[in-house]
Amino acid sequence: MRGFNLLLMLGGLLSVSVMVIVTPLSLSGQLAFGVGSVIFGAFLNRRIKSSWVSYALIVISVLTTVRYLFWRVTETLPLGAGFSWLDRVMAAGLLGAELYALAILVLGYFQIIAPRRRKPLKLPDDPGLWPTVDVFIPTYNEPLSVVRPTVLAALKMDWPEDKIKVYVLDDGRRDEFAAFCAEVGAEHVIRSDNKHAKAGNINAALKNTRGELIAIFDCDHIPTRSFLQLTVGTMVDDPKVSLVQTPHHFFSPDPFERNLDLFRKAPNEGELFYGLLQDGNDYWGATFFCGSCALLRRTALEQVGGIAIETVTEDAHTSLKMHSRGWKSAYINIPQAAGLATESLSAHIGQRIRWARGMAQIFRRDNPMLMRGLKLGQRLCYTNAMLHFFYGIPRLIFLTSPLAYLLLDAKVIAGNGLMIAAFALPHLFMATMTNSRIQGPYRHSFWAEVYETVLAVFIIIPTTLALINPKLGSFNVTAKGGVIDRDYFDADIAKPYLFLFGMSILGMLVGLWRMLRPEAEVETLLLNMGWTVYNLIILGAALRVASESQQRREQVRIETQVPALLRMRGADDDAVVEVGETSDLSLGGTAFTNLGLLDLQRGDEVEIALLPERRMLWLPATVRRLDDDGVALQFHDLNIEEQSFLVYVIFGRADAWLNWRNRENRDRPLKALAEVASFGLEGGRIFVRTLIQSLVSFVRFRTT
């Protein structure tokens, strides 16, 4: 009886949903429905905090979106005799982009319906029962200054010395790396070739090591001492767990954060994935390997033939293979390592191109919807992750569709402007409101459009070619640890945005001219011009991101408050000692506050003791700057013991990154839109300046 009642309720809900989707309404009726949906959703969103409200908003959002697309398919396609081939082609492209957006919206809601929020599990009391661990740090062309802190931190992880070995997998085969490893007690591993890049490097090491578990860190991802303490317990508790993934956390700003001055003021591009989506994947048993900051079980890796070598996103492909064999995975959303973000926009785009091409390769070779051994939830989560990287063409269509009407008079949507708005705006408002509620702490509204616009043009060809032939293309390593010695506008990267921005301006001018004509379709013109204004905001923000900001320091200063002592160099224990704390720290120096007792001058030689856990080690330094806030110090060349201690103080403490994330800075869509619009306006100024400079250069060229 209970099952019958449940089926009856589900049938009723389905019937109501179908009625909501297919019932035709007049313009006034659709306006009332749309406004009512948005007002009801806003009331629920503002008044009630229960997770059930989130589910209700998801339902309303999906219904308004599907209703809009049902209307689009049945009422607005230019199929009659009065429409041209251009109308039909452009309309088909836009409808395809909208159907893609619907798929991503629904799959995204499914993926994050119940984030797991897994907690670390306790290890056995007897350390003798703990498994052996091999730590792999693959490197190719990164300088030793980038790799050194990762190795020193890995050597200090809390684990029995007889049960852990640290291996530097050096595909660059460099003598200085061998000497460094010999000095600090790590194993320097090389091979005769670089076949299959990082995946081949790890697989070669797997054949010559014996640890039960494999911890993998990119060479710039510096682990905390507690990494193994927080992850191994999950492996010990369940022998079927093949992977424990932790977040990729970055202590330096990515190009968006640096160029827009948003570092730690708003969630960065990766925060949604590591802050929410991986927890959602974990609920469905679909957490996948991200290449670093992870613990893997050797037997699981060996069963699938090691790290996958068929695609350039070997990490996700490997976990897909393990899941298809029945292995489990886990995600512990506690930052336990920190690395360097990409320094320049061009490097950032190159990295994303590789990710996009790799996901397309997997989709082509081992489509999760067809692969044997996966559960439904795993299939859908993997499919969403892969389909996400096909946004290049849809994003370009959304940026150009209003121009097709304004410039070419293409009937992209064969309908009245007011009717289009009455159907489209409720869907857009509800999607924005729902995602803001669910994703608010991890991504602010409208920023996804900026991220996708910056990358869209560049990922179209790699993803398309990967679908045609997964073997096309090559592996590229993301450079880390560089500097940007001046402010400059990356015109080469920005060419697509400049062109689209210029075409959008032209579309607006043509639209204004068409408004003056007696036969003007005013409502449709206004709709497309409003759409173009929004696109100009997004494109302007993309132009603003392409304005690279100077970054001179090779060592990133990190806001870290650590108790410290300061004294003149060479002083004995009875000398005057200043007690204070650091305001920031880097491997190159520190800022020390609460200065007052010592009479210091610029250039003085001093010693500072950092006391995160009341450990005492005096580090030699030179005073570089004095001001009202304190003193800035530059460390001298430190020996290995001093370097290791400094790495521990900055990166290795168990609580190093626990308070780093700002979860209080929640999303407010209107505020976020205003913020994006302000960057869009700055981008508009960049466009005008670039246009004037190009015209001046052209005139000079012609006159000479």
Amino acid at site 228: L
What is the rounded distance in angstroms from the CA atom of residue 45 to the CA atom of residue 137?
Answer: 46
Amino acid at site 312: V
* pLDDT (0 to 100) of residue 483: 53
Per-residue pLDDT band at 569 (split at 50, 70, 90) = confident
Per-residue pLDDT band at 478 (split at 50, 70, 90) = low
β-bridge mates for residue 566, sequence order: 578, 608
Cβ–Cβ under 8 Å, residues 243 and 294: yes
The residues carrying an active-site annotation are 171, 315
- Who's near 475: CB < 8 A, 6+ residues apart? 197, 198, 312, 354
Cβ–Cβ under 8 Å, residues 357 and 462: yes
Side-chain half-sphere of 433: how many Cα atoms within 13 Å? 27
- Supply the DSSP string of 121-150, one letter for each residue: -PPPS-GGGSPPEEEEEEESS--HHHHHHH
* pLDDT (0 to 100) of residue 104: 96
Q: Please, what is the average pLDDT of the chain?
A: 90
* pLDDT (0 to 100) of residue 601: 86
The helix-helix angle for 376-387 and 345-365 (nearest 10°) equals 140
Least confident of 334-338, 518-522, 617-621, 631-635: 518-522
Per-residue pLDDT band at 325 (split at 50, 70, 90) = very high
Cβ–Cβ under 8 Å, residues 562 and 615: no
Give the pairing type, strands 187-189 and 164-170.
parallel
Percent of the chain with pLDDT over 70: 94
Percent of the chain with pLDDT over 90: 70
Q: Is the pLDDT of residue 580 over 80?
A: yes
- Between the CA atoms of 70, 71, 75 and 76, what dihedral angle is there, to the nearest 10 degrees? -100
Q: Is the pLDDT of residue 411 over 70?
A: yes
* Region of residue 510 (left: phi > 0; alpha: psi -120 to 50; beta: else): alpha
Q: Is the pLDDT of residue 166 over 60?
A: yes
What is the rounded distance in angstroms from the CA atom of residue 133 to the CA atom of residue 296?
Answer: 10
φ/ψ of 634, rounded to 5, equals: -115, 125
* pLDDT (0 to 100) of residue 568: 87
In this predicted model, which residue has the larger pLDDT, 253 or 475? 253
Q: Is the pLDDT of residue 600 over 70?
A: yes
Mean pLDDT over residues 20-48, rounded?
83
Amino acid at site 693: Q
Per-residue pLDDT band at 662 (split at 50, 70, 90) = low
What is the rounded distance in angstroms from the CA atom of residue 155 to the CA atom of residue 88?
Answer: 63
Mean pLDDT over residues 463-467, rounded?
91
Q: Is the pLDDT of residue 484 over 90?
A: no
* pLDDT (0 to 100) of residue 12: 66
List pLDDT tens digits, range 334-387.
999 999 998 889 999 999 999 999 999 999 999 999 999 999 999 999 999 999
Please return the burial class of 591, using the count of CB atoms within 10 Å of its CB with bins 0-12, 13-18 and 19+. buried
Cβ–Cβ under 8 Å, residues 493 and 346: yes
Mean pLDDT over residues 35-58, rounded?
83
* pLDDT (0 to 100) of residue 126: 94
* pLDDT (0 to 100) of residue 157: 97
* pLDDT (0 to 100) of residue 570: 74
Q: Is the pLDDT of residue 27 over 60?
A: yes
Q: Token digits for 196?
A: 């299959």
- Give the Å distances, CA to CA, from 398 to 102, 500, 646: 14, 12, 50
Amino acid at site 92: A
